[in-house]
Amino acid sequence: MTVQAFAKKLIDSIEKVMVGKRDSVELAVSSLLCQGHLLIDDVPGVGKTMLARSIARSIGCTFNRIQFTPDMLPSDITGVSIYNQKSKKFEFRAGPIMAQIVLADEINRATPKTQSALLEAMQEAQVSIDGVTHELPKPFMVLATQNPIEYEGTFQLPEAQLDRFLLRIKLGYPEPDDEVDVLKRQQFQHPFESLDQVVTAKELLKAQEQIKAIYTADSLQKYIVELVNKTRNHSEVYLGASPRGSLALYRASQARAAMEKREFVLPDDVKALALPALSHRIIMSPAARLRDLTAEDVVQEILDTLPVPGGNLTPQ
């Protein structure tokens, strides 16, 4: 099965539940194909949880939801070793992170200490408990949500945590016609209840490997690096995107090309993914924040002014 066929099956399945959110669903699938994690930054009630559950059910993956609260401990996420009186040995009791698709709901409500429990899992696909390393299942993806409006009782995600997310998306409110469609679909039961598995985890792992073979011309790789480098030298930026941001944009561009049944990346792929891949990795200067300038504004300005590479971008 091609990456395009895999992505189409998965997106069509998710859209049975997520109405009118094609662009956001495509970005979520791109992140999945890149073996990356997704940050969904939006207000309550727009379908963040349902997106994660729909992805898991459509692939037939195990799914766990972690509801973050200020009193949560790192062991509540990763698991804990408990001494067994009968066997006189410590036994590992797995936490909810031990699933293929994990929803970290309202991640900014947990303390920084608890948030950091996800770092090793997201980067290394493993957790270490009492000096013992436990591998996470494959595929593995964290979808984290946070409410950008309500700040009371929340803790801002540290830069190291934000940098682990491949993409950040916003679902937004549906269009009026789409919202009417939502009402009709849920008249008797939620469409999620009738959602079936359409692809397998094995097919996903194969598609993830196929992504890596998508050709990216040297000029496009330099374009990606130059784009990211300009975020570091911008007058309005305190801290620019990291090399992990360059790699995220590179991988996501490969996924987009494959989803459109191309064997090579185009500048349009890079430009379409620059905002979701880079904006959450940029910290604006205090003066820029006072003028209500955002990281999205900076990335868009760079995209508008940076020359796009020309010439032959196809494999030779």
Model confidence pLDDT, tens digit, residues 13-33:
999 999 889 999 999 999 999
- 3-state SS string over 89-136? EEEEEECCCCCCEEEEECHHHCCHHHHCHHHHHHHHCEEEECCEEEEC
Same domain, 94 and 27: yes
Q: Is residue 311 part of a domain?
A: no
The predicted structure's pLDDT at residue 150: 64
* 226 CB-side CA count, 13 A: 14
Domain stop point among 160, 190, 206: 206
CATH number, domain at 92? 3.40.50.300
Same domain, 180 and 218: no
Domain stop point among 177, 206, 235: 206
Same domain, 104 and 218: no
Same domain, 38 and 142: yes
Same domain, 103 and 33: yes
Domain stop point among 162, 183, 206: 206
The predicted structure's pLDDT at residue 153: 65
Q: Is residue 298 part of a domain?
A: yes
The predicted structure's pLDDT at residue 97: 92
Domain tally for the chain? Answer: 2
Same domain, 104 and 167: yes
Same domain, 160 and 198: yes
The contacts of residue 174 (CB under 8 Å, 6+ apart) are 19, 20, 21, 46, 182
Same domain, 193 and 271: no
Rounded to 10 degrees, what is the CA torsion of 205, 77, 107, 122?
A: -30
Q: Is residue 170 part of a domain?
A: yes
**Residues of the chain below pLDDT 70:** 150-153
Same domain, 45 and 183: yes
Same domain, 192 and 244: no
Domain of 294, in residue numbers: 212-305
Q: Is residue 315 part of a domain?
A: no
Q: Is residue 312 part of a domain?
A: no
The predicted structure's pLDDT at residue 58: 95
Under a CB-based contact definition with an 8 Å cutoff, are residues 106 and 149 in contact?
Answer: no
Same domain, 243 and 128: no
Model confidence pLDDT, tens digit, residues 117-146:
888 889 888 888 877 888 999 999 999 998
As a whole number of angstroms, the distance between CA 159 and CA 295 comes to 14
Same domain, 8 and 50: yes
Q: Is residue 119 part of a domain?
A: yes
Q: Is residue 316 part of a domain?
A: no
Q: Is residue 125 part of a domain?
A: yes
CATH number, domain at 271? 1.10.8.80
